[in-house]
């Protein structure tokens, strides 16, 4: 008999109450209908160490599970260094450096973070597609989460959709922010032909909370938590209240001290997709932002 063990391809759910079926157990563990349908079609649902095709009754002590077969990823592997913060069966958490695109696009088909992860997967004999949970702009540094299997990605996407992932950024902005803390609750949208997002009355509700970490002569170092996930949210909000991010050439202007927007995704907290405990990861402030801060202290 084949014995299934927890791995990046196998997730097991011990049954903790009577009167349920296999489907009930999967639903209670937030397996989406779409993923469940796919697993049933491929005969990948496990019940007590064997594959089951029926929605059988279960009892306390039984074990239900899912098996996710190997996948082929079509992203070209490139030997790009990765700053890996954490890795387990389900998650790969990376500190993305600035000036690198997350995923290939028609205008940028190589040299992306995904190309680097593809190479890493190949070296580690990981046969899974690359599934990003969150994205960062090319010139924003910091934490990127990758789901290493369909289960992990689906579980993390559910948390993201329900605003259950706590995301905090570090930013250096122009001017002296007077209030020690504040909340910006202003809708953001985009006109059909516009490139930039902007504050709009009929836009999507967007909420950012900021806290002053340090004030300099003509600038402020902030921690910003986004409670919603609108594209360019922090950049638009800070610009709107008169404190644009230094170096943000898209929404403000270039800086002689840093060649990108001074924005870094430094902290993320969420419920682990498999074990359900709360985990938190942090990425240290990058060198270019440290250099900027030292210059601002003198200017």
Cα 18 to Cα 22, 127, 276: the distances in Å are 11, 36, 22
CA–CA distance, 94 with 98 (Å, rounded to integer): 12
Q: Is there a contact between 170 and 289 (Cβ–Cβ < 8 Å)?
A: yes
Asked about 125 being catalytic, the answer comes back as no
Of the candidates 111, 134, 114, the one whose C-alpha atom is nearest the C-alpha of residue 122 is: 114
CA–CA distance, 22 with 1 (Å, rounded to integer): 21
Maximum Cα–Cα distance across the chain: 71
The torsion angles phi and psi of 57, rounded to 5 degrees, stand at: -75, 145
CA–CA distance, 258 with 293 (Å, rounded to integer): 10
CB atoms within 10 A of CB 247: 23
Residue of 8, 62, 90, 137 marked catalytic: 137
* Residues 6+ positions from 106 with CB-CB distance below 8 Å: none
Q: Hey, what's the torsion of the CAs at 40, 42, 44, 45, to 10 degrees?
A: 10
Beta strands (DSSP E) in the chain are 10-14, 20-21, 45-47, 50-51, 57-58, 63-67, 84-87, 91-96, 131-132, 141-147, 166-174, 181-185, 188-189, 198-199, 207-215, 219-226, 263-271, 278-282
Of the candidates 7, 155, 157, 3, the one whose C-alpha atom is nearest the C-alpha of residue 89 is: 7
Q: Are strands 45-47 and 50-51 parallel, antiparallel or unpaired?
A: antiparallel
Residues with catalytic function: 137
């Amino acid at each position: 008999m084949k014995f299934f063990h927890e791995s990046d391809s196998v997730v097991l759910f011990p049954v903790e109450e009577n009167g349920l079926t296999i489907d009930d157990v999967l639903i209670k563990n937030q397996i989406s209908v779409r993923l469940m349908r796919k697993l049933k079609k491929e005969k990948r649902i496990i019940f007590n160490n064997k594959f089951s095709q029926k929605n059988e009754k279960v009892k306390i002590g039984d074990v239900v599970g899912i098996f996710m077969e190997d996948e082929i990823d079509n992203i070209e592997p490139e030997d790009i260094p990765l700053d890996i913060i954490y890795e387990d069966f389900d998650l790969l958490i990376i500190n993305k450096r600035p000036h690198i695109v997350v995923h290939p696009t028609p205008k940028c088909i190589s040299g992306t973070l995904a190309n680097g992860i593809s190479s890493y997967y190949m070296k580690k004999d990981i046969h899974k597609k690359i599934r990003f949970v969150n994205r960062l702009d090319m010139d924003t540094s910091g934490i990127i989460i990758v789901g290493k299997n369909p289960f992990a990605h689906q579980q993390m996407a559910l948390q993201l959709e329900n605003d259950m992932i706590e995301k905090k950024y570090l930013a250096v902005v122009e001017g002296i922010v007077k209030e020690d803390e504040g909340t910006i609750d202003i809708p953001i949208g985009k006109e059909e032909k516009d490139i930039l997002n902007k504050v709009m009355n009929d836009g999507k509700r967007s909420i950012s909370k900021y806290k002053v970490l340090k004030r300099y002569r003509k600038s402020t170092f902030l921690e910003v938590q986004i409670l919603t996930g609108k594209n360019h949210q922090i950049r638009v909000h800070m610009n709107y209240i008169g404190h644009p991010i230094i170096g943000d050439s898209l929404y403000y202007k270039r800086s002689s001290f840093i060649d990108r927007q001074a924005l870094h995704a430094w902290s993320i907290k969420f419920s682990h997709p498999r074990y359900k405990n709360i985990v938190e990861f942090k990425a240290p402030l990058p060198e270019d932002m440290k250099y900027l801060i030292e210059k601002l202290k003198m200017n």
